[in-house]
Amino acid sequence: MALLDETDIHNKLKNFSGWNYSDKQIQKEFKLKDFSSALDFVNRIGKDAEAMNHHPDIFIHSYNKVKIIISTHSESGVTDKDFYLAKKIDDHNK
């Protein structure tokens, strides 16, 4: 999977809401109804992560917030695989 350059990344981000690029990663914070909903959301993400063998960092915090951080470690940056996972994650939060 080819590494994307910053121009590519910012262009792709235009198709996403709430995702930001920084420090060679894309990230987004979600606010759920409560802790239990946050955990359910994380489990749905976990299933996708396992299916794709692509594992984001997941920070469950402040009771009902979930921050997701995605990058492609093997490429030391952002690839299309990261945007594919981001799309899947957004779909779980519709």
Position among 29, 39, 75, 80 found at the interface with a second copy (CB under 8 A): 39
**Interacting positions 63-82 with a second copy (CB under 8 A):** 63, 69
Euclidean distance between CA atoms 46 and 55, whole angstroms: 8
DSSP codes, 21-87:
EETTEEEEEEE-SSHHHHHHHHHHHHHHHHHHT---EEEEETTTEEEEEE-BGGGTB-BHHHHHHHH
Check binding of 35 to a second copy (CB under 8 A).
Answer: yes
Q: How many residues make contact with a second copy (CB under 8 A)?
A: 17
43 contacts a second copy (rule: CB under 8 A): yes
Residues 6+ apart with CB under 8 A from 32: 38, 41, 64, 65, 66
Is 50 near a second copy (CB under 8 A)?
Answer: yes
Residue (3 or 60) nearer to a second copy, CB: 60
> Minimum Å distance from CB 68 to a second copy?
10
Point out which residues bind a second copy (CB under 8 A): 35-36, 39, 42-43, 46, 49-50, 55, 57-63, 69
